[in-house]
Amino acid sequence: MQKGKDLAGFLQETTTADITRLLLSIADGTRTLSHAVRNLGVLNLGGSMDVTNIQGETVQKLDDFSNNVLMELCKASGVCAGYLSEENEDIVTLDPNGGYVVAIDPLDGSANIDIAAPVGTIFSIHERLSPVGGPVNHGDFLQHGHRVVAAGYALYGSSTILVFSTGAGTHMFSLDADDNHYYKSHTDVMIPGNGKIYSLNQGNLSKFEPVAQQFIEWCVSHDKETSRPYSLRYIGSMVGDMHRTFIKGGVFLYPAAKGEKRGKLRLLYECIPMAYITEQAGGKAINGAERILDIQPTELHERCAIIIGCKDMVGKYEEFAQAVAAV
């Protein structure tokens, strides 16, 4: 079978030289991580370290390994001024002369590592706002999602897939396990509009905001016209659950809950990148009240409720939210 275009060739034709360099560096990191995930036991990368990160979560060996690999490669790109990671408390200046900053979740779905279930990497790239030649500052990272210049994720599942957008559609590349190159599998991916899947941690039902409870009730109620009840699928890594959403449609949710008004997922390196590539694929992403890409970030590691996927299902959630707000 003939292979699709390779990643470097595609990027050279579709984006700038600097973004090509940075995306190829991140892609190199994901190839290393793909190998590490598949050889976890052999490389002794399973299990946790004796530390917690800024979110208070136990750092897995693979979290730390992934962060070091990706930070080094972003630096090596020669265009990345600064780096914000789930695993670093503060931002890091990598190259004072770079024009871009990267926000990254080096290893998403850490709880899946030791059970050999899908994990991934999520990232977004903004132009820096601080003067070139000096250190980066928080303002470089606290930018609206609608100012993203490129974003994407890698999924280390039964195969390794790189999905990204540079603002002109969402594209999928598969890693060839033999020659270790990425080849195009789908360009201009569109989230199917007739999804029949909802995806969330339903064990938290009693804690979710009332709108989420109403929405779940709607998903499980019977209606021939919209093929309800819908199926519940939940992998427990955002990358895995979102990849299914891109391919099969439906909606993924991590809503606001009692005691967790902003949900669980992180705005800068989980919600914004996924929202950007979702919109580029014809979908929609909100926090319940507002478009994710229009939220003004205020903290590096802030959390954000998210309802993301095909327009119809996210639109339905919005309808419920507007009805509740009107009361």
84 binds, among Mn ion, ligand AHG, none (CB under 5 to 8 A by kind): none
| Contact between 85 and ligand AHG per CB under 6 A | no
Enumerate residues 146-205 that contact ligand AHG by CB under 6 A. Answer: 201
Residue type for position 82: G
Q: Identify whether the C-beta of residue 284 lies closer than 8 Å to the C-beta of residue 315.
A: yes
Residue type for position 240: G
Q: Write the CA distances from 75 to 25, 44, 69, 225, 289, integer angstroms.
A: 9, 26, 10, 52, 37
Q: How far apart are the first and last CA of the chain?
A: 59
| Shortest spacing between CB 225 and ligand AHG, in angstroms | 30
| Shortest spacing between CB 253 and ligand AHG, in angstroms | 10
Q: How far apart (Å, rounded) are the C-alpha atoms in residues 290 and 267?
A: 13
- Count of residues that bind ligand AHG according to CB under 6 A: 11
| Contact between 108 and Mn ion per CB under 5 A | yes
Output Rg (C-alpha) for the chain, integer angstroms.
19
Which of 29, 98, 109, 288 binds ligand AHG (CB under 6 A)? It is 109
What secondary structure does DSSP assign to 35-53, as a single string? HHHHTTTTTT--SEEEEE-
| Shortest spacing between CB 301 and ligand AHG, in angstroms | 11
Q: Identify whether the C-beta of residue 284 lies closer than 8 Å to the C-beta of residue 309.
A: yes
| Shortest spacing between CB 201 and ligand AHG, in angstroms | 3
DSSP state of 156: E
Which of 18, 64, 95, 105 binds Mn ion (CB under 5 A)? It is 105
Q: How far apart (Å, rounded) are the C-alpha atoms in residues 181 and 173?
A: 9
| Contact between 241 and Mn ion per CB under 5 A | no
User: Which residue's CB is nearer to ligand AHG, number 16 or number 201?
Assistant: 201
* Kind and range of the H or E run holding 174: strand 171-175
| Contact between 143 and ligand AHG per CB under 6 A | no
User: Which residue's CB is nearer to ligand AHG, number 19 or number 286?
Assistant: 286
| Contact between 86 and Mn ion per CB under 5 A | yes
Q: Which stretch binds Mn ion (CB under 5 A): 81-89, 162-170, 205-213, 227-235?
A: 81-89
256-275 footprint of ligand AHG as x/- string (CB under 6 A): --------x-----------
| Shortest spacing between CB 193 and Mn ion, in angstroms | 27
CA atoms within 13 A on the CB side of 246: 29
Q: How far apart (Å, rounded) are the C-alpha atoms in residues 166 and 186?
A: 15
Enumerate residues 150-209 that contact Mn ion by CB under 5 A. Answer: none
What are the beta bridge partners of residue 155? 120, 161
User: Which residue's CB is nearer to ligand AHG, number 86 or number 95?
Assistant: 86
215-254 footprint of ligand AHG as x/- string (CB under 6 A): ---------------------xxx----------------
Contacts of 6 (CB under 8 A, 6+ apart): 181, 182, 183, 184
Q: Which residues bind ligand AHG (CB under 6 A)?
A: 57, 86, 105, 108-110, 201, 236-238, 264
Q: Which residues bind Mn ion (CB under 5 A)?
A: 86, 105, 107-108
